[in-house]
């Protein structure tokens, strides 16, 4: 005879879980819905609560800001930084996880320790050093700063991921006559796609949405990023919420697209090797 004593409790538990997840989803999506709905309304519609849609805020945004140039500036800085971060972190992770050399653990601990240093405490020395070599208001200056700030975490992630790959693969490749450099490119990198994709998503969101580095190192109007451009728009004129929401929507869409493209790699990239 079947027992049904646990079924009601299990059903209630699932219902409560569903309701909690539904509530979290609404809370998470409401800001985006507010931003999108406000962006397609005029200031009068937003202020008076009038129905209907309008492109007036988008036309005003294009008049007030070189939005295309600023998005291009953010793209150059973000993708340039991510490229350097991927190269350095992949090579560093491979060296720390699979190559044995004197002082490797000490260097790795130093990299982990650098992750605990507040960004604000490093900004002034970095600004001073880059100003000496004329890299303020240059793309390469901001790219170097972002690379220095976010490579330690990416290196830690790649090290943990590579440690989850069996050493038997390395030994088999060595027996087949491959050197360590060829093993890195032909064996390790193809297997590290989830970790690399995870780094792309996390660092893209951090760099694209960053304000402090862009404000200090890209001050010129020709190299200003989208986040700094929106801040100057708010500071220079009376606050126009629909215009700000339109600009914020432009700024948010690239990060959302990158996340949707690489989301299936996130869990594997973040968890593989963590137990090693």
Percent of the chain whose pLDDT exceeds 90: 27
Domain identity same for 169 and 137: yes
Q: How far apart are the first and last CA of the chain?
A: 46
Residues 6 or more apart whose CB falls under 8 angstroms from that of 52 comprise 41, 45
Q: Domain residues for 133?
A: 57-271
Residue 2, in any domain of the structure: no
Reported confidence tier of residue 69, pLDDT bands at 50, 70, 90: very high
| CATH for 177 | 1.10.3720.10
Stretch 56-72: mean pLDDT = 89
Query: Which of 45-54, 183-192, 204-213 comes out lowest in average pLDDT?
Result: 45-54
Q: At residue 1, does pLDDT exceed 50?
A: no
Domain identity same for 61 and 35: no
Domain identity same for 11 and 138: no
State the chain's mean pLDDT as an integer.
85
CA distances from 263 to 1, 28, 73, 217, 266 (A): 45, 17, 25, 31, 5
Domain identity same for 130 and 30: no
Residue that wins the pLDDT comparison between 77 and 63: 77
Q: At residue 7, does pLDDT exceed 80?
A: no
The tokens for 241 are 């919420």
Most confident of 3-7, 100-104, 266-270: 100-104
Residue with token string 């600004």: 127
For position 259, what pLDDT does the model report? 84
Residue 187, in any domain of the structure: yes
Domain identity same for 96 and 136: yes
Report the distance separating Cα 58 and Cα 68, nearest Å. 13
Q: In terms of Cα–Cα distance, which of 98, 92, 127, 125 is closest to 110? A: 92
Residue 44, in any domain of the structure: no
Structural contact between residues 155 and 97, judged by C-beta atoms closer than 8 angstroms: no
Domain identity same for 21 and 144: no
Domain identity same for 161 and 220: yes
Report the distance separating Cα 8 and Cα 10, nearest Å. 5
Domain identity same for 31 and 93: no
Task: Count up the domains in the chain and report the number.
Answer: 2
Domain identity same for 117 and 29: no
Reported confidence tier of residue 100, pLDDT bands at 50, 70, 90: confident
The tokens for 47 are 């202020």
Domain identity same for 141 and 190: yes
> Whole-model pTM?
0.85
Residue 95, in any domain of the structure: yes
Domain identity same for 139 and 97: yes
Q: At residue 275, does pLDDT exceed 50?
A: no
Residue 216, in any domain of the structure: yes
Residue 227, in any domain of the structure: yes
Structural contact between residues 225 and 74, judged by C-beta atoms closer than 8 angstroms: yes
Percent of the chain whose pLDDT exceeds 70: 92
For position 72, what pLDDT does the model report? 94
Domain identity same for 70 and 101: yes
């Amino acid at each position: 005879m079947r027992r049904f004593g646990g079924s009601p409790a299990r059903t209630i538990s699932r219902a409560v879980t569903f309701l909690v997840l539904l509530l979290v989803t609404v809370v998470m999506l409401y800001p985006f819905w507010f931003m999108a709905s406000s962006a397609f309304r005029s200031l009068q519609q937003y202020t008076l609560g009038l129905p209907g849609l309008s492109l007036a805020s988008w036309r005003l945004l294009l008049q007030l800001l070189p939005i295309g140039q600023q998005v291009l500036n953010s793209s150059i800085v973000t993708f340039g930084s991510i490229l350097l971060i991927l190269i350095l972190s992949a090579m560093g992770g491979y060296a720390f996880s699979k190559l044995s050399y004197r002082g490797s653990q000490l260097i790795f601990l130093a990299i982990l320790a650098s992750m605990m240093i507040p960004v604000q405490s490093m900004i002034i020395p970095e600004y001073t050093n880059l100003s000496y070599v004329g890299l303020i208001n240059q793309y390469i200056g901001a790219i170097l700063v972002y690379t220095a700030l976010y490579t330690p975490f990416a290196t830690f992630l790649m090290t943990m991921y590579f440690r989850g790959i069996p050493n038997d693969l390395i030994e088999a490749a060595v027996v087949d006559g491959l050197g360590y450099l060829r093993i890195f490119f032909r064996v390790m990198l193809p297997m590290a796609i989830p970790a690399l994709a995870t780094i792309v998503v996390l660092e893209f969101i951090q760099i694209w949405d960053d304000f402090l580095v862009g404000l200090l190192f890209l001050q010129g109007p020709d190299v200003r990023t989208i986040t700094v451009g929106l801040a100057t728009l708010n500071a220079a004129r009376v606050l126009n919420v629909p215009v700000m929401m339109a600009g914020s929507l432009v700024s948010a869409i690239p990060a959302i697209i990158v996340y949707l493209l690489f989301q299936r790699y996130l869990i594997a990239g973040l968890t593989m090797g963590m137990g090693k």
